[in-house]
Amino acid sequence: MSELPWWKNAVVYQIYPRSFNDSDGDGVGDIPGIIERLDHLDDLGIDAVWLSPVYESPQHDNGYDVSDYRAIHSGFGTTADWERLLEGLHDRDIRLVMDMVANHTSSEHEWFRQSRSTPEGEHGDYYVWREGDPEAPPNNWESAFGGSAWEYDDERGAWYLHLFDTNQPDLNWRNPRVREEIYDVMNWWLEKGVDGYRLDVVNLLSKAEGLPDGDPSGEWVGSEHFVDGPRIFEYLGEMHDEVFAGTDTVSVGEMPQLDLETASEYTGDGPLDLVFPFEHVELDFGDRGRWDIGEWRLPELKSILDRWQRGLDEEWWTTLFFENHDQPRSVSRFGDDERYRYESATALATIILTLRGTPFVYQGQEIGMTNSTFASLDDVADVDSVRNVRELIDGGVVKDYDAIRHVVEYRSRDNARTPVQWDDSPNAGFTDGDPWLPVNDDYPEVNVARERSESPSVLAYYRRLIELRASTPPLVSGRYNLHYPDDEQLFVYTRTGDNRRVVVVINFSADDRAIDLGPLDGSASLLLGNHEDVPESPDGAVDLRPYEARLYETEPRGSGPSESP
């Protein structure tokens, strides 16, 4: 395994600093709070942390609106705190991957202030400005957060583009000075010792020449002119050469609307190491897209994951995730958070940690945190949910909040952002103050302290799986083969390599299910399961309980699990 780059052997854990742990009682998580919890990360056995943005920011989008790339957000701590964090992680052999938001800045960034006040000055061309009628935006592009992607700025007397919030103006990547500024910032942090970057919406950097109107019926109007745009490979190639080349770092591109063919051009011999695709977390979109709930079925999930697993060639490598700060809690979405929280959270853990690729675990996922409740729109903090839901109500698409509350409670990004539940003390041990977003009501039952002391627990299972992955080469780099593709209950695959074969058998359903493991013949042995009382060796037909997952090791010979039960 040693010839693999570190990030292929790594399990990455994402921290969303606002919601992780608050050390000073102001209700907002901070860097000293993360430092207090480093042993939790160490115990879990993860290899790297992806830290969502901690740069200075007015926090309209919780740090994805950067006002100073070289300063730490004062609410999160100081540069000295950040240095202590880096040291604390490195002391535990955990790497630090920072988040780089290069598509846009905050409107409070000095570059934007200068750009709007002094068009002819050095920063005049740092953003995407268009002059014209203050009543008519330059084109029909939409913001991902709802409404037009253009805002008229009275000070400059021109429109500026913002693919996200109005407070997040898009940088003009055509301007070589802008690109140099971003590379300088990235190199500045690399010199401080960071181990790589997660690159925010990085396939949106290049906008089509002339900014033409988009197809008005598109899911995200205009996106065909800025997703994987005309100069994107030039920009990312340049970023690779200026920042990543010759370093032992990782680059992970977050890429909306990414398809497999394009993904393979970005990675491998392409400019980036890894990408985040989203197809598998979009399969439950409804007729109204994200703000609607669609039916999803296991064969469809398997088929999407299978395609991304196999990729386009032998060397293909991808990311594995069900959660991040933009996604609802996976146990509520794909599992059963009421009757089978432990079982379905651990079944999902099994998938993420035994497929081929680099697993990313989001804070709280390792204890099976669930979606929250939001009784009124005033309880929702997320700019994306608030703007989109308001637009649906104002446009008459839904009558009022109550008519869409179930969708918000299913889909809103705030589900991932409720504070991490550390114990059953007030506010789940997250803060001594008033949390910026209410703690999920289930914290007396779902919390780290309880997960540590109880058996079985989601946390203990994550730990064992992470350990098993690290000590079982086929789970990292072995060939992958899906069985029973059309089965509505079973998720079964093999990972083969190094003369070993691991068979992963999951009953991904709330009903019992028998499966014939006869072809594994008595030589197979159980590596791990999410139930304790399982025979060491399968013997023909086995009965799987709801969401039961088992990993067997067997000789690579033989036909593998039969295709029919």
Kindly list the catalytic residues. Answer: 200, 254
In angstroms, the CA 224 to CA 208 distance is 9
Choose between 61 and 487: whose C-beta lies nearer to ligand NOJ: 61
Choose between 164 and 342: whose C-beta lies nearer to ligand NOJ: 164
Choose between 129 and 164: whose C-beta lies nearer to ligand NOJ: 164
Q: How far is the CB of 162 from ligand NOJ (least distance, A)?
A: 10
Residue 414 binding ligand NOJ, by CB under 6 A: no
Q: Which residue is nearest to ligand NOJ (CB)?
A: 64
Residue 61 binding ligand NOJ, by CB under 6 A: yes
How many residues in the shown chain lie near ligand NOJ by CB under 6 A? 9
Please give the helix or strand (H or E) that residue 235 lies within, else none.
helix 232-239
In angstroms, the CA 542 to CA 431 distance is 46
Residue 64 binding ligand NOJ, by CB under 6 A: yes
The CB density around residue 213, as the number of other CB atoms within 10 Å, is 12
The first and second tokens of residue 461, run together, are 């299972």
3-state secondary structure 303-332: HHHHHHHHCCCCCCCCEECCCCCCCCCHHH
Largest interatomic CA distance in the chain: 78
In angstroms, the CA 377 to CA 382 distance is 10
The first and second tokens of residue 186, run together, are 């990235």
The first and second tokens of residue 467, run together, are 């350990």
List binders of ligand NOJ among 244-263 (CB under 6 A).
254
The first and second tokens of residue 440, run together, are 């999920």
Choose between 327 and 354: whose C-beta lies nearer to ligand NOJ: 327
List binders of ligand NOJ among 86-115 (CB under 6 A).
101
* Binding map of ligand NOJ across residues 306-325, x = CB under 6 A, - = no contact: -------------------x
Per the omega criterion (within 30 degrees of 0), is the bond before 456 cis?
yes
Q: How far is the CB of 47 from ligand NOJ (least distance, A)?
A: 22
Q: How far is the CB of 311 from ligand NOJ (least distance, A)?
A: 24
Residue 362 binding ligand NOJ, by CB under 6 A: no
Distances, alpha carbon 413 to alpha carbons 51, 124, 240, in Å: 17, 34, 31
Local structure of residue 503 (DSSP, 8 states) = E
The CB density around residue 10, as the number of other CB atoms within 10 Å, is 22
Choose between 228 and 343: whose C-beta lies nearer to ligand NOJ: 228
Query: 61 and 164 in contact (C-beta within 8 Å)?
Result: yes
Q: Which of 47, 200, 323, 487 binds ligand NOJ (CB under 6 A)?
A: 200
Q: How far is the CB of 201 from ligand NOJ (least distance, A)?
A: 5
Q: How far is the CB of 209 from ligand NOJ (least distance, A)?
A: 24
Q: How far is the CB of 319 from ligand NOJ (least distance, A)?
A: 14
Choose between 59 and 267: whose C-beta lies nearer to ligand NOJ: 59
Expressed in angstroms, the distance from the first to the final Cα of the chain is 35
The CB density around residue 4, as the number of other CB atoms within 10 Å, is 13
List binders of ligand NOJ among 147-186 (CB under 6 A).
164
Query: 31 and 75 in contact (C-beta within 8 Å)?
Result: no
Q: How far is the CB of 101 from ligand NOJ (least distance, A)?
A: 5
Choose between 201 and 250: whose C-beta lies nearer to ligand NOJ: 201
Choose between 116 and 198: whose C-beta lies nearer to ligand NOJ: 198
In angstroms, the CA 482 to CA 306 distance is 7
Q: Which of 96, 201, 252, 549 binds ligand NOJ (CB under 6 A)?
A: 201
Q: How far is the CB of 99 from ligand NOJ (least distance, A)?
A: 8
Q: Which of 326, 379, 424, 521 binds ligand NOJ (CB under 6 A)?
A: 326
Residue 16 binding ligand NOJ, by CB under 6 A: no
Pairing of strands 525-529, 549-554: antiparallel
Choose between 203 and 262: whose C-beta lies nearer to ligand NOJ: 203
In angstroms, the CA 419 to CA 429 distance is 9
Residue for token digits 């709801």? 546
Pairing of strands 48-51, 12-15: parallel
Residue for token digits 């901690």? 54
- What is the chain's Cα-based Rg? 24
State residue 170 phi and psi, 5-degree precision.
-75, 135
Q: How far is the CB of 254 from ligand NOJ (least distance, A)?
A: 6
In angstroms, the CA 186 to CA 564 distance is 52
Please give the helix or strand (H or E) that residue 458 lies within, else none.
helix 458-471
Residues making contact with ligand NOJ (CB under 6 A): 61, 64, 101, 164, 200-201, 254, 325-326
